[in-house]
Structure 1
């Protein structure tokens, strides 16, 4: 019991601190090491740990990330952003187009992936056009969150809930 509490506290600190440079451990790695340590110290039985892994969610997440990686490699996101940014006639139409495209892409792919890939493109255009960045970045984040709610593949939480509802 004490070992499990120590593992939990250390893992929580690693995740909360985002990255411990002196050991080269970031949040995802800290979570995995913490999960393994919890099984090793007996805080969670091995069969319960294996039972907690939903392979349907893991496979769906892997597939969505694989599709997103191929689309990024093919410069799909760059092309999409370019089309929105070049067809916008005003700052307002740019904001609308960015919101619509981000929401649509987030419904199909992971919202985090869409944000990570579109943000640098949006920022470079906004800086070049001398527009205020805040409204466009807030629109990007908000549209990604709303779009991510629409489908099971929009974010990992939806995948988990969808898989649990299906069983």
Structure 2
């Protein structure tokens, strides 16, 4: 069974055993999180259909064609885009383009794929819209978009720089500054009217986030405005919404509520009361059961006004994604697409890069958050 099916089966078992009534299960689902996540998926789908992500990568690669220059632009470019848009979207769109770009420059794609996977995770830690677990934290804590970005953006930037240094050390072939002969091997279509409209709506949505308007409502209005168009059939966009993730979230909300009612997690409470143990706990759980379930389980022990703990929960669950190949969906997306193109990205190849990266960035994040958010 995939993750969504497991969530459905688990929540059905909860209902069948009488641990929750249907109305209690429905009430356990947080509408703010579901609406926010759905709306950002719609906005990202329109950006993809308009050609925005492909155009962004094209302009990034025009800055340089040297092996190291490409590594720098890919790292910081994908990191920046992941901070603004959902990181999984960046991984899905950029992976085949990155492979094609490396092939056209006659470069080994593996270090660039590692850079892409890690940068999408590192960049996404910077904002509440960067990844699903941050969306959860924003929904439960009420932390403002701007404050979250002010605290977390330095962590993302330092992490991206550390990632760059590690790949430079591990892969000598990426150190060259000599320009490569570039023969583009991929094409895309830019839908200019749709691109203009989507960019205007996306910028307005981000402005609403920054000035402090409700996140879910702002994103929902933006999604609705984009769906009202003659440029592309809305059913095409709605097919691209990851309904499985929305079902997964709904099922996990129900399962978490049943665990609360059964007091199964009382033993975890002591761990969650200290910043260091909370960080280690969410990091371990994120690699054991995935980051979204980890945040859902641990949020029950964090007070709504405990900003430091919410920040540590967001940072730990996101940065833990770089520890192993299975730590984040973005890693698996990159690995599967690379294998399909004949470039296997093994568990051990990723582990040698992911362990030192995660340990260093997580230590820096912990110290920074404890210092900045007493």
1:79 aligns with 2:55: yes
Q: Tell me, in whole angstroms, the C-alpha distance in 1 between the residues paired with 2:77 and 2:8.
A: 34
Q: 1:78-115 CA deviation, whole Å, 9 max, x = no partner?
A: 11111112332311111111111111111111111111
* Equivalent in 129, 137, 143 of residue 153 of structure 1: 129
Corresponding residue for 1:68?
44
Corresponding residue for 2:276?
none
Q: How does 1:132-143 map to 2 (within 5 A)?
A: 132-143=108-119
SS at match of 1:42: coil
SS at match of 1:136: helix
Corresponding residue for 2:3?
27
1:97 aligns with 2:73: yes
SS at match of 1:134: helix
Q: Tell me, in whole angstroms, the C-alpha distance in 1 between the residues paired with 2:21 and 2:33.
A: 22
Q: Tell me, in whole angstroms, the C-alpha distance in 2 between the residues paired with 1:88 and 1:42.
A: 61
Q: Please report the TM-score for the alignment, with normalisation by the length of structure 1.
A: 0.78
Corresponding residue for 2:104?
128
1:108 aligns with 2:73: no
Tell me the CA shift for residue 62 of structure 1.
1.0
Q: Tell me, in whole angstroms, the C-alpha distance in 1 between the residues paired with 2:78 and 2:67.
A: 16
Tell me the CA shift for residue 27 of structure 1.
3.1
Q: Tell me, in whole angstroms, the C-alpha distance in 1 between the residues paired with 2:36 and 2:84.
A: 12
Q: Paired residues, what number?
A: 143
Higher relative contact order (CA 8 A, sep 6+): 2
1:163 aligns with 2:139: yes
Q: How does 1:2-41 map to 2 (within 5 A)?
A: 14=1, 26-41=2-17
Corresponding residue for 1:118?
94
Tell me the CA shift for residue 68 of structure 1.
0.4
Q: Tell me, in whole angstroms, the C-alpha distance in 1 between the residues paired with 2:115 and 2:138.
A: 27
Q: Please report the TM-score for the alignment, with normalisation by the length of structure 2.
A: 0.36
RMSD of Structure 2 on Structure 1 (CA): 1.7
Structure 2, unpaired ranges of 5+: 143-303, 305-374
Q: Tell me, in whole angstroms, the C-alpha distance in 2 between the residues paired with 1:38 and 1:161.
A: 25
Tell me the CA shift for residue 39 of structure 1.
1.7
Tell me the CA shift for residue 52 of structure 1.
2.3
